Structure 1
Amino acid sequence: MKYLIIALMWSVFGLIHSLLISVRFSSWANRIMGQYFAFYRLTYNLFSLILFVSILSFTRTLDSELVIKFSPPWTIIQSITLLTSCVVMIWAFLSYDYLEFVGIRQIIDLSKKKDSNHPKTIIKKGLLGIVRHPMYLATIIFMWSLDSTRADVLTHIVLTIYILVGIIFEEKKLVKQHGTVYIEYRKVVPALIPFTKK
């Protein structure tokens, strides 16, 4: 029963997370909130973080057997993959406009009476010239490089599925936003696995 609860909690998290960032919902929120929509992204990120930490904390309270345990010499590989994934996460974060990513840029623009809804450009250099979704790739590698209980494994499975499904919907949104520019970008840069496109 406890594992079913974990699966349901993470599934609900994924649904809420996806709904709040969807084009339809965010467009509706924009119409309702007006200029105060500038606070939406930051509020969304804080809410998602609190919800994520709450569910993760709950899984830590469960009495669950350790089923994945790295031992020497595999701990060396584990350390390398964990470190590499953290570096990629930071690199990916800095590759974007991280102030906009967090939701601070929008608030700054509001205070300066600037329009935050300016057209976004696709970043095609650096890490984003190697893989289209480096943050997701790093997250998957990080999760599966950890020593894990049964509850953790279930969490990792649900979150991995959520990421893979989420990429499909995110790609559709990006094609709608950028059109042929993003379609051409997809032809030369792989989504998750580097160097798999000619």
Structure 2
Amino acid sequence: MDTALLWLIAAWVGYFTMHSLLASLAVKNRVARRWPQLMPWYRLFFNAMAILLLAAPLYLAWAIGGEIIIAWKGIWWWVGNGLALAALGGFVYSLRHYDGAEFLGLRQLRDGEQRVEDQERFRISPLHQQVRHPWYFLALVLIWTRDMTAAMLVSSVMMTLYFVLGSWLEERKLLAYYGDAYREYRQLVPGLLPRPWKRLNREQAQTLERRGNASVLHRN
């Protein structure tokens, strides 16, 4: 393999490692014990680092460049770009079901929140009724509907692997937060790729939401 592509792989591994460490309960618990006054800033810091650290692998992928080795042509150009537009629409639609202030870290800073756990309630949005990680799924659609150079293909494979690993790590925390309700949710809804025959209706989603949020209240 070309040396530049090996450096690109190393850059992605470094990014994923740092991102996972900063997102882990172990690191957040350590910060909370040693520097509790920093916890209200932690989510903002995490988001800033996620963006800044992403610059290195993205720049390498752009700098390596190269010829297109996989291209969407003819009718498939329309299919690929149609799917990409649908994925972007899915992202926009999903925003109404997230607590933006919580996600960005603004609410934690405003409230002086020092607890390690995320404070957002357990919500199963319409997209979450289809797939447990809708943002990862939508990102995969965007990634794999682009024309590919060798560097972009390597980056796409690395990101896909990380979505698989990252979803597993994220779900360990969600199981700790929401207990049996999330465990049942995992059994009923696929993780990254929707399956029309395996989904929740709204009544089932509301029942699991109540159970998950009750377990949070009991733990607190």
TM > 0.5 between the two? Answer: yes
2:92 to 90, 93, 110: 90
Corresponding position: 1:125 with 2:148: no
How far is 1:121 from its partner?
A: 2.6
Instruction: Give deviations 1:9-60, integer Å, cap 9, x for gaps.
Output: 0011001100010010011112222133111111111111111123202221
- Taking structure 2 as the reference length, what is the TM-score of the superposition? 0.82
Corresponding position: 1:185 with 2:162: no
The answer (yes or no) to whether the contact 1:95–1:127 under 8 Å persists in 2 is no
How far is 1:92 from its partner?
A: 2.9
Greater CA drift, 90-99 or 100-109: 90-99
Instruction: Give deviations 1:81-134, integer Å, cap 9, x for gaps.
Output: 111111222333432212111111111212xxx676675432123211221100
**2:198 equivalent in structure 1:** 197
How far is 1:161 from its partner?
A: 0.3
The answer (yes or no) to whether the contact 2:130–2:198 under 8 Å persists in 1 is no
RMSD: 1.8
How far is 1:193 from its partner?
A: 2.2
- Taking structure 1 as the reference length, what is the TM-score of the superposition? 0.90
CA distance in 1, matches of 2:37, 2:96: 27
Pairing of 1:106-125 with structure 2 (within 5 A)? 106-110=108-112, 120-125=120-125
The answer (yes or no) to whether the contact 2:65–2:149 under 8 Å persists in 1 is no
CA distance in 1, matches of 2:110, 2:119: 17
CA distance in 2, matches of 1:121, 1:186: 17
* Structure 1 counterpart SS, 2:128: helix
**1:159 equivalent in structure 2:** 159
Which residue type is aligned with residue 137 of structure 1? F
Give 5+ residue unaligned stretches, structure 2. Answer: 200-220
* Structure 1 counterpart SS, 2:127: helix
Q: Do the aligned partners of residues 109 and 59 (structure 1) sit closer, same or farther apart at CA in structure 2, a change above 3 Å counting?
A: same
**1:149 equivalent in structure 2:** 149
CA distance in 1, matches of 2:27, 2:114: 20
2:16 to 14, 17, 26: 14
**2:211 equivalent in structure 1:** none
